[in-house]
């Protein structure tokens, strides 16, 4: 349960252990570990850390029965000690070091190696595009996976190690195994889609998230799965399926006020409008759940998605005053992110504002400025990696650069932008479409045919978008000629 982040089951399981053996200190160790939740996504809250420290103290009062148990309890204590005065990042590194010592002291304890490998990822810089710590973690986990292919922690943490487009293919084996290892855990059923999304394998992502949603009993699992489903469905042009997901998040009254719920609630409607270039709908997106019932102040990074979508929609319509208002809103949200020590999301807010400013400049006929702003935003975004909260960016800046270049009748440059964006985000519908259109307008019919054919193979018999009909017409016309 710990390895599959099955939080809602762990308290009852630990209670069963303590009912059978009231002196089992390791039951409290497990509850302490569970208090950390998923530190890859975000640090634990002060309430979670206080609870974790209480569990550590209970474990210590009962006393370890073996040296190995003592070492495990001493290790987890490191991350909770001084939780109210020492930043989590510093304590996380101290815990990683403690796990390294635990692994050295107990070299036959594969669990020590697995936990250490995971915390190498927790303490890694996600934007380090050498992926040094993630690959070090995978190097520890791969041999263990070969000898123990049914271990949920190994499969789970290998997926996280490879959760980047550049190396996602290496995680496909773990992704395809994990759901069958822990088939009743909503998180385990969802996790393979991290790899499938990064690798552009949309149907597999949809299927595993459908299973996750069906198994879920908690809002975070439901909403997180829905965001990944919506993103994948949009790449297959299954717009009616996404419309139903939008209706769900806009009418839901979630009990859990957590980031997964906030982010999906903002991103699913934003993706639906922006991926279909419905600028009018994007410019008017409301926040759901309503602020009267949901504390959006906790999650400025999620509300920023709504501001981004509204700003892009307004700018693309030429409504520059409204777009500038959304930039100002993003700046206020950015200030709140700084206050909440959300460094990753601060940069994302800068990127979102940069893209809106670029389209504002384009609407105001300052084309050189627009291109410079969008190119700067795309370059900066390319130096960052997608957060594990994201199945993919709402719209990649490099893709928007391609679209802007096409508008400015620079198809060869647009094609280069779309092809770079495809390397960053494989098999995105609008990247494939943009590359095909750019190649067609640049006079490269062979490349246009290749991209249109790829797009049509991807969407199958979907026909709800005019772009698909145009792609079919090109391919048919090209075949006749």
The string of DSSP letters for 17-76 reads: HHHH-TT-HHHHHHHHHHTT--TTTSPPPHHHHHHHHHHHHHHHHH--SSHHHHHHHHHH
**Cα separation of 230 and 233, whole Å?**
5
DSSP category for residue 299: -
Structure tokens, 467: 């772009």
Give how far Cα 289 sits from Cα of 82, 151, 155, Å.
Answer: 36, 38, 34
| DSSP 8-class letter at 169 | G
Structural contact between residues 441 and 463, judged by C-beta atoms closer than 8 angstroms: no
Question: For residues 327 and 356, is the Cβ–Cβ distance under 8 A?
Answer: yes
Residue 355's CB is within 10 A of a number of other CB atoms, namely 26
Residues 329-364 have pLDDT tens digits of 999 999 999 999 999 999 999 999 999 999 999 999
Task: Give the model confidence (pLDDT) of 372-423 as tens digits.
Answer: 999 999 999 999 999 999 999 999 999 999 999 999 999 999 999 999 999 9
Q: How far apart, in Å, are the Cα atoms of 75 and each of 93, 95, 142?
A: 12, 6, 24
Could you give the angle at the alpha carbon of 349 between the alpha carbons of 344 and 350, nearest 5°?
A: 100
Instruction: Collect all residues with Cβ–Cβ distance below 8 Å to 280 and sequence separation of at least 6.
Output: 313, 317
pLDDT (mean) for 218-236: 97
Residue in 471, 379, 371, 376 with CA at minimum distance from that of residue 420:
379
Cα gap 173→136, rounded to integer Å:
18
Tokens matching residue 290: 């309503």
Domains of the chain (ranges, CATH numbers): 1-123 (no CATH), 124-213 (1.25.40.10), 218-395 (no CATH), 408-481 (1.25.40)
pLDDT band at 480 (very low <50, low <70, confident <90, very high): confident
Token duo for residue 182: 């822990």
pLDDT (0 to 100) of residue 479 = 87
pLDDT, tens only, 16-52 = 999 999 999 999 999 999 999 999 988 999 999 999 9
- For the CA atoms of 5, 10, 13, 18, the dihedral, rounded to the nearest 10 degrees, stands at 130
Cβ pair 11, 2 in contact under 8 A = no
Confidence (pLDDT) at 238: 98
Q: pLDDT by residue (tens digit) across 228-287? A: 999 999 999 999 999 999 999 999 999 999 999 999 999 999 999 999 999 999 999 999
Q: How far apart are CA 248 and CA 158, in angstroms?
A: 32
Residues 6+ apart with CB under 8 A from 418: 398, 399, 402, 431, 434, 435, 438
Burial of 191 per CB tally in 10 Å (0-12, 13-18, 19+): buried
Q: Model pTM?
A: 0.95
Residue 164: CB partners within 8 Å, gap ≥ 6?
131, 134, 198, 385, 386
For residue 115, what are its two tokens? Answer: 């936990």
| 338 CB-contact burial (10 Å; exposed 0-12 / middle 13-18 / buried 19+) | middle
Per the CB < 8 A criterion, the answer to whether 104 and 75 are in contact is no
Q: Are 284 and 310 in contact (CB under 8 A)?
A: yes
| Residue 285, phi-psi category: left (phi > 0), alpha (psi -120 to 50), beta (remainder) | beta
202 by DSSP, 3-state: which? helix
**Mean pLDDT over residues 166-176, rounded?**
97
Q: Cite the DSSP H helix spans in 106-218.
A: 110-122, 132-147, 152-161, 172-181, 186-190, 192-199, 202-215
């Amino acid at each position: 349960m710990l390895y599959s982040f099955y939080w809602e089951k762990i308290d009852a399981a630990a209670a069963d252990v303590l009912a059978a053996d009231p002196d089992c200190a390791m039951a409290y160790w497990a509850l302490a570990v569970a208090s950390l939740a998923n530190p890859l996504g975000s640090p634990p809250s002060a309430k979670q850390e206080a609870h974790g420290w209480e569990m550590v103290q209970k474990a210590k009062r009962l006393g370890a029965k073996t040296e190995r148990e003592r070492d495990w309890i001493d290790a987890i204590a490191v991350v909770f000690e001084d939780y109210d005065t020492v930043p989590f990042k510093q304590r996380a590194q101290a815990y990683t070091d403690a796990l390294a010592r635990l692994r050295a002291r107990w070299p036959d304890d594969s669990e020590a190696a697995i936990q250490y490998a995971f915390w190498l990822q927790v303490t890694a810089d996600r934007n380090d595009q050498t992926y040094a710590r993630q690959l070090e973690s995978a190097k520890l986990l791969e041999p263990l996976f070969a000898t123990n292919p049914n271990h949920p922690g190994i499969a789970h943490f290998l997926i996280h190690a490879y959760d980047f487009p550049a190396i996602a293919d290496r995680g496909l084996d773990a992704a395809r195994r994990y759901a069958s290892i822990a088939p009743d855990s909503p998180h385990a059923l969802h996790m393979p889609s991290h790899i499938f999304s990064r690798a552009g394998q949309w149907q597999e992502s949809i299927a595993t998230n459908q299973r996750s949603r069906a198994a879920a009993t908690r809002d975070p699992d439901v909403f997180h799965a829905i965001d990944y489903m919506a993103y994948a469905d949009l790449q297959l042009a299954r717009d009616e399926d996404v419309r139903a997901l939008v209706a769900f998040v806009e009418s839901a009254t979630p009990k859990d006020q957590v980031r997964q719920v906030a982010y999906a609630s903002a991103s699913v409607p934003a993706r639906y409008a922006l991926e279909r270039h419905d600028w009018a709908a994007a410019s008017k997106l409301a926040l759901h759940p309503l602020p009267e019932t949901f504390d959006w102040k906790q999650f400025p990074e999620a509300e920023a998605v709504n501001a981004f979508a509204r700003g892009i929609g307004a700018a693309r319509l030429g409504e520059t005053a409204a777009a500038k208002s959304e930039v100002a809103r993003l700046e206020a949200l950015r200030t709140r992110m700084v206050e909440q020590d959300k460094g990753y999301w601060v940069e994302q807010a800068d990127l979102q504002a940069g893209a809106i400013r670029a389209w504002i400049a384009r609407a105001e006929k300052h084309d050189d400025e627009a291109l410079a702003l969008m190119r700067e935003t795309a370059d900066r975004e390319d130096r960052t990696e997608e957060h594990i909260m994201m199945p993919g960016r709402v719209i990649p800046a490099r893709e928007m650069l391609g679209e802007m270049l096409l508008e400015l009748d620079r198809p060869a440059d647009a094609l280069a932008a779309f092809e770079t964006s495809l390397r960053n985000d494989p098999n995105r519908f609008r990247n494939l479409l943009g590359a095909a259109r750019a190649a067609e307008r640049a006079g490269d019919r062979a490349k246009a045919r290749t991209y249109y054919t790829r797009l049509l193979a991807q969407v199958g018999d979907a026909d709800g978008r005019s772009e698909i009909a145009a792609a079919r017409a090109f391919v048919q016309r090209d075949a006749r000629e």
